[in-house]
Amino acid sequence: PVDKVKVEDVPKSSNGWRIASFISFVVIVGLIVLNIVPRTGKKEILDKSIAVLPFKNDSPNQERMYFINGTMEAILDNLCKIEDLRVPGRTSMEQYRNNPKPIPVVADEMNVSYVLEDSGHRDGNNVRLTVQLLEGKTDRHIWSKSYDSDIEEIFSMQSEIAQLVASEIEAIITPKEKELIENVPTTDLTAYDFYLKGVEEFGNGNYDRAEELFNEALRLDPAYAEAYADLGALYYVRTLEQDYFSDRYLDTAMIFANIALSNNDELSEAYRLQAIIFQMTGRSDEAISAFEKVVELNPNEGWVHSTIGDYYCETDYVKCINSIQKALSLNTEFDRSYEIRRLGATYFNAGFWDIAFEYYGKLIRLEGDSTSYYGLQAGYEFFISGNFELALKYYKKALDRDTTFSNLFYSGWVSYKTGDYKKSLDYMRLSLELAQKEQMDQSFFQNRYHRIALAYLANGFREEAEHYFNLLEESQLAAIELGREQAQNYYAYYDLAGLYAFRGEYEKALENLRIFNEKEVFSAGMVGLIKMDVLFNSIRDEPEFKQIVRDVEAKYQAEHERVRQWLEANDML
């Protein structure tokens, strides 16, 4: 039980990079394959996995750090293009930049067999690099090489290092991968320098300066695909929370992604940007095609596997679990919280409660924070067991640890179900104040307006209630018209159906429910919700509504059984 976990027993661990999302788990089979026959002297055969440590800047001029970081990123990216290798991403490795650890510790924490160290500096046009490959378990030196060359050789150095390292590890490089590794992004080294500076400023959140630098790079080389892709990513970040219902939402970012691909149709960064925009704008089929292209070009991009898992989380729980597990095999405890949370939620949706709680328990050990675990307990009691008093108890425990929008909102919703309407409205108001204070993306809470409206109505505030009911209708109709995510996963239709049923517009309610019922996979939580949703009380005894409820439950049971068979077939149950 969470409340019996001693504080001193909970290890502290850093949270990973913020752009990321929820839940995951990993089953890594054969990390180290042994083939030791002492009498014949055969060597140990190691897993083809390598971690690339942040490069050290040997120069006293720290202003050149952007160049060293860029060189590391290029070598790491080249290694990630090799499918026969397993390579943790840069986010995983950043924890060692200011917190160096012995090589065996790094290898153990990253679950890799090899570690690559590098140091270097740039003095004018002269670049010096020293790289060495180490066996992770023993810290044994395997291979090293020093470079002292003109900056004009930087791309060939980056390519050569990746291929030599792969050769030492005996990783197979396909002709296509070799072609990708040896690609020269630009012939203008001044443009390259501006680009690397832009990447550094972008990473530090200095968007205006980054934009200036990317544009300088493009002025010198108008065909610089990577610069277009990063400029598009910058516009994506800037406009992500703006104009959500505009028909030109994220258009500028997409334009830059398309220009990048017109100059290099094998640039994984551009496909990645396209995929995210497709996903955000409800173009699901195009999104998954673009993400699969990213995996084809960069099979070690862990977060892309995670995103593919997110894509399938509403339609195919088996593919969702499989993809997130792949992401976890490429991520580490430094940035795996999202995948663990997402995977736990998927098991919950599929009706495997024990497994879901197991993974949320991992979050306690990983983050030292039981908030998510209490949230899961509350969700189980609310949606599955229907024990609203106990659900409220758990949400209050979660609130005691973290005052988030979700914890406030669900505390308000559950309070409404327990009949404490005043407390319900208090929580709802606090959630709205927090959303405004934190300038939350409207898409995050627009499907909650009707629950807020119910709290106002129960307390006699009819005008305020109607305001939020109208907001729900406007936002969900707009989501459908523009093909946003809520429409793609059918929940916009569910929300509208509930609103119309509550207003007495029964035919419109059933019309939207029919569309909602076209969804092929339903979660356990949705089964619980549609059975107890007060918005449908006016049509609950209607034969068609009863049939839709039976359909929703049957589709959930079918997916639950499919997941169970898959888990058993893979010895995971």
Q: Please state, in angstroms and rounded to a whole number, the distance separating the CA atoms of residues 305 and 323.
A: 5
Beta strands in 96-140 (DSSP E): 114-123, 126-135
Write the burial class of residue 374 (CB in 10 Å: 0-12 exposed, 13-18 middle, 19+ buried).
buried
Hey, what are 239's tokens?
A: 């406009």
Kind of pairing between the strands at 50-52 and 141-150: unpaired
Exposed e or buried b per residue across 441-458, where buried means at least 16 C-beta atoms within 10 angstroms of its C-beta = eebebbbbbbbbbbbbbb
**pTM given for the model:** 0.73
Q: Please state, in angstroms and rounded to a whole number, the distance separating the CA atoms of residues 416 and 393.
A: 14
> ∠ CA 436-390-338 to the nearest 5 degrees?
50
Write the burial class of residue 325 (CB in 10 Å: 0-12 exposed, 13-18 middle, 19+ buried).
buried
In three state form, how does the secondary structure of 379-405 look?
Answer: HHHHHHHCCHHHHHHHHHHHHHHCCCH
Q: What is the mean pLDDT of each run of 10 residues along the chain (573 residues)?
A: 41 36 30 30 66 84 82 92 91 86 93 92 88 95 93 94 95 96 96 96 93 97 97 88 61 94 96 90 86 92 84 92 89 72 95 96 85 94 96 95 93 97 97 88 79 98 97 93 79 97 98 97 97 97 98 98 97 90
- In angstroms, the first-to-last Cα distance of the chain is 22
Segment (H or E) for 143: strand 141-150
Return contacts of 545-551, CB within 8 angstroms, 24+ apart: 545/510, 545/513, 548/513, 548/514, 548/516, 548/517, 551/517
* Residue 85, number of CB atoms within 10 A of its CB: 24
* Nearest alpha-carbon partner for 92 in 308, 372, 358, 301: 301
